Structure 1
Amino acid sequence: MADAAGTTLVDDVEVVLLDLDGTVYAGGRPVPGAAEGVAACRARGLPVLFVTNNASLPPEDVADHLRRTGVPASPDEVRTSSQAGARLLRERVGPGARVLVVGGPGTAVACREQGLEPVTSADDGPAAVLQGFGPEVGWAELTEAAYAIRAGALWVATNTDTVLARERGLALGNGSLVAAVRTATGAEPLVAGKPQRPLLEGAAAGRRALVVGDRLDTDVAGARAAGLPSLWVSTGVDDVRRLLDAAPHERPDHLGADLGALHRAPAATRRDDHGWRCGDAVVAVDAGALVARDGGELLDLLRAACAARWEVGDVRVPDDLLERLAPLDAR
């Protein structure tokens, strides 16, 4: 899968940090191109870590799920926001402390690994609350968390993703459940996962890393917060319109259709007398709107449009341009 010119996006990278939901799989469905992209990294001896905000499962179960979706993986290649949250709690409340865990089994496992004692009731006197995603989390669990937080427990959220990519579409994420506890308590949690720094910095461990993901507010913003380059792929939550409207801290360094982009040459976008150019695609600004002057590949058109929109700022994105780019959202 290497680019014919011999220069690829990962040539100077020591580790690739891959998001999972929407990047490698969507629920139980593999994302097209993901298995091939990961296999090509391994073929060249490049370490791959799966770094996920989804805190519901322990690393062993995440690795099993990866294998079922066609991507061989071992537990030591998985980094979860539950692990990052438990490390943060150990630093704050010390080993042996009781922690009220909300979420799937991954939250409790991560706490035990850090020498913390998981509990499930505010009546157990927890020093902290670790709230992560779990598909079975409901009113009773969220209420126990609210009781504990109101009683003075330190509140750590593994992540605040409002939605998750699933086979049927976008489902409620941990951020939506955190919002319920926030509304009930008036408190604000510490956040361990993306876009905060602990999860990605811990995974990179000082190495030259490339962060890959489908979400701008977590994967890309987290990479920027950690001082790491990022690749956005069009296989998950955020669509073309969202990318064009991205705030400065959410703008990726590279754009790709899927993980195959790791093994192709980085695309160069430049400005000339005709507008913003990438490959054969040219986008100009005319009468306050983006205008596609020439053709080219869809991804090059998107890159040129993003370069123009991000540089000019207050410029309209016409419907006809979005319609041309719509196939990227259908992946």
Structure 2
Amino acid sequence: MIAEPSLLDRYDCLLFDLDGTVYHGVEAIKGAVTGIDAAHAAGVRVRFVTNNASKAPDAVASHLRGLGVPARTEEVATSAQAGARLLARLVPAGATVLVIGTDALAAEVSDTALRPVRRRSADVAAVVQGHSPDTCWTDLAEACTAIRSGAHWVACNVDPTLPTERGQLPGNGSMVAALRTATGASPVVAGKPEPGLFREAAAAAETPLVIGDRLDTDIAGASAADMDALLVLSGVTTPADVLSAPAGQRPRYLAEDAAAVTAPAEALAVGAPSGWDVGVEDGVLRVGGAGEPLDLLRALCPLAWESGIYRASGTTDTAKAVVNTLGVADIDYR
């Protein structure tokens, strides 16, 4: 029997999100390591795509290796890199750029033949803003005066929060919001969910696949970049979130974690045939039959997305139990 093609057979480059996809805090996600090892063994290119602009690529790769994740510096793509390249298209070589962020971001700006500074002067042509735990009111004030004077403004990302061991803390997007309020301006965004970071990371690929755990950044960014996406449920997204995902945030594939890259691609696809009998009846998603919970979620997604109905009800004890397991029983998101 001929084996069905896996995601590794179908795609020539895998773009991995990090937090929630490759690791949780200080621990690697086992399935992600399995998937990354398999991709390397199959000769499929791997890229680690992160919205975090505070660390240099070599620091990100070193951190991943410390967690047991095989990673090389050249496999890392950061929003700081994307932000610096975006700046280079907006202002001429040698232009002065006010950096609100870490030294790693300043180094990326310098590497694109621009001159990073920390205080506003009359010749500042642009402001670039990335996350730093040391950003303070004085930094925002410098940026505010430059933006009000007409400087270009690039935000590496607009993530409102940053996941930490202490929980969700203010991210770069929260600082960007402060400047939006103070200036009345809006930045050009370099990172996810804008497509540029994905396109740069997959520049040499013909069939890239985005792998991530967030609908609003990973899947939305893949959609904007016209790339297929695998949503993994190893991070923040729940089955109920997937059912109610808006257009532009709907993945092609669903899996528990990134180990699924070795599985048959069609079995992972939304709408894949399964042992479940699903339909829309009396304003709910009716579920009968039997099978695996994730197969049911894949079967329900097309119905939910087309009908706008996001609550499910089982017609048998087995179906009811699995609907409850997924957390989509009799919940109305309309």
TM-score, normalised relative to structure 1: 0.89
Distance 1:34 1:139 in 2: 39
1:182, distance to aligned residue in structure 2 (A): 0.9
Q: Deviations over 1:182-231 (max 9, x none)?
A: 11111110011122121111111152111111111111111111111111
Matches within 5 A, 1:167-182: 167-182=165-180
Q: Residue type of the partner of 2:307?
A: V
1:326, distance to aligned residue in structure 2 (A): 4.5
Report which stretch shifted further, 84-93 or 101-110. Answer: 101-110
* Residue in structure 2 matching 1:88, options 86, 89, 94: 86
Corresponding residue of 2:48:
50
Matches within 5 A, 1:99-248: 99-123=97-121, 125-207=123-205, 208-248=207-247
Report which stretch shifted further, 129-138 or 111-120. Answer: 129-138
Summarize the Cα distance change of 1:310–1:283 in structure 2 as closer, same or farther, 3 Å threshold: same
Corresponding residue of 2:36:
38
1:24, distance to aligned residue in structure 2 (A): 0.8
Secondary structure of residue in 1 paired with 2:150: coil
Distance 1:256 1:74 in 2: 25
Matches within 5 A, 1:58-77: 58-77=56-75
Distance 2:258 2:136 in 1: 35
* Residue in structure 1 matching 2:27, options 12, 29, 45: 29
1:260 aligns with 2:259: yes
Summarize the Cα distance change of 1:288–1:176 in structure 2 as closer, same or farther, 3 Å threshold: same
Contact 1:18 1:50 in 2 (8 A): yes
Contact 1:27 1:166 in 2 (8 A): yes
Distance 1:72 1:215 in 2: 22
Corresponding residue of 2:298:
303
Summarize the Cα distance change of 1:317–1:125 in structure 2 as closer, same or farther, 3 Å threshold: farther
Distance 2:289 2:169 in 1: 38
1:279 aligns with 2:274: yes
Summarize the Cα distance change of 1:315–1:60 in structure 2 as closer, same or farther, 3 Å threshold: closer
Secondary structure of residue in 2 paired with 1:156: strand
Secondary structure of residue in 1 paired with 2:74: helix
1:99, distance to aligned residue in structure 2 (A): 1.1
1:311, distance to aligned residue in structure 2 (A): 1.7
Contact 1:269 1:304 in 2 (8 A): no
1:323, distance to aligned residue in structure 2 (A): 3.6
Contact 1:165 1:236 in 2 (8 A): no
1:322, distance to aligned residue in structure 2 (A): 6.2
Distance 1:85 1:230 in 2: 23
1:11, distance to aligned residue in structure 2 (A): 0.6
1:270, distance to aligned residue in structure 2 (A): 9.9
Percentage of pairs with the same residue:
47
Q: Deviations over 1:87-137 (max 9, x none)?
A: 110111122111111123331121011111111122464211111112332
Counting matched residue pairs gives: 320
Summarize the Cα distance change of 1:66–1:199 in structure 2 as closer, same or farther, 3 Å threshold: same
Distance 2:7 2:55 in 1: 31
Unpaired stretches in structure 1, ≥5 consecutive residues? none
1:324 aligns with 2:322: no
TM-score, normalised relative to structure 2: 0.88
Q: Which consecutive aligned stretches of 4+ in structure 1 deviate over 6 angstroms post-superposition? A: 318-322
Unpaired stretches in structure 2, ≥5 consecutive residues? 315-319, 329-334
Summarize the Cα distance change of 1:119–1:277 in structure 2 as closer, same or farther, 3 Å threshold: closer
Report which stretch shifted further, 144-153 or 224-233. Answer: 144-153
Q: Residue type of the partner of 2:280?
A: V
Distance 1:169 1:228 in 2: 31
Q: Deviations over 1:262-311 (max 9, x none)?
A: 1101245999xxxx774223332221012322331121111112121012
RMSD between aligned residues: 2.4
